[in-house]
Amino acid sequence: MPDFPIIDAHVHIYDPADISFAWMADVPLLNKPHLPPYYLERSAPVTVDGLVFVEVDATLGQHVDEALWVSETAKQEPLIQAIVASVPMERGPVAVEADIAAIAKLPLARGIRRLIQNHVDEPGWCLQPGFVEAVKLLPNYDLTFDICIYHPQMADAIELVRRCPEVSFILDHIGKPGIRDGIREPWWSQMRELASLPNVMCKVSGVATEADHRNWTYDQLAPYVAHTIECFGFDRVAFGGDWPVAELAIRYAEWVAVVDRVTEGASESDLRKLYRDNAIRFYRM
């Protein structure tokens, strides 16, 4: 376990009584308030002194309301130090720029995410001209873009990054490889290709949930984590707890223990980059 406080680059804070999340209806573990005090309880004994809020796929039309809600929550909860909000980028730049501008005015707004993974059966979905042009707006507002995909969408993600060289990207959950089915290629090779692009980082997060939730083993997860760090290097990876979604498969301290074991022998400097410094730099915390 790190002997210094960490920054968690990927946390979902929410209350379904305030913002609607239709997708949670069939997931009782998640379909209840998950607020910072509960996060601190569940993440113990790991010491966390800052987190990045990442949008929770609010019901259509509530994306700005969600950003406003967490911005207000952060006024009472100093643990929340950056906000990644949702915007329906597929609507195109003309339709979404007002939302982007409104979100950018929030003091902690640092990035935008649109769940590309929800369109895994639509190849090229994030390469629609409107989507790409909307993403290209983000540097005008000092905002980054979180890429959240399943592994069959890696080629599209790589192309999106190539088409938007001025945008700073970060790949969530190491691209959600097919760990459950033991799939490595083409994800294995595509991670190297993605990492060759200078405007993208990667979150070491959300890995256990891509394995069997009840029967995952360290030996299943470790090669994917190690390969990610090898591809991106310690200068371009950031630890994420993916709380509370990760609790479907793994406890917070268990996930930290997996990452610690993979990175055994790394220097103090590199570990600080992974667990703190890179998130602070990327999200301007």
- What pLDDT, in 10s, does the model give residues 186-209? 999 999 999 999 999 999 999 999
Residues 6+ apart with CB under 8 A from 84: 52, 53, 54, 55, 110, 111, 112, 113, 144, 146, 283
What's the pLDDT at 1?
Answer: 84
What's the pLDDT at 155?
Answer: 98
CA distance 87 to 109: 12
What's the pLDDT at 214?
Answer: 95
What's the pLDDT at 134?
Answer: 98
Domains annotated on the chain, with CATH: 6-282 (3.20.20.140)
- What pLDDT, in 10s, does the model give residues 181-190? 999 999 999 9
CA distance 137 to 234: 29
What's the pLDDT at 125?
Answer: 98
CA distance 187 to 178: 8
- What pLDDT, in 10s, does the model give residues 152-179? 999 999 999 999 999 999 999 999 999 9
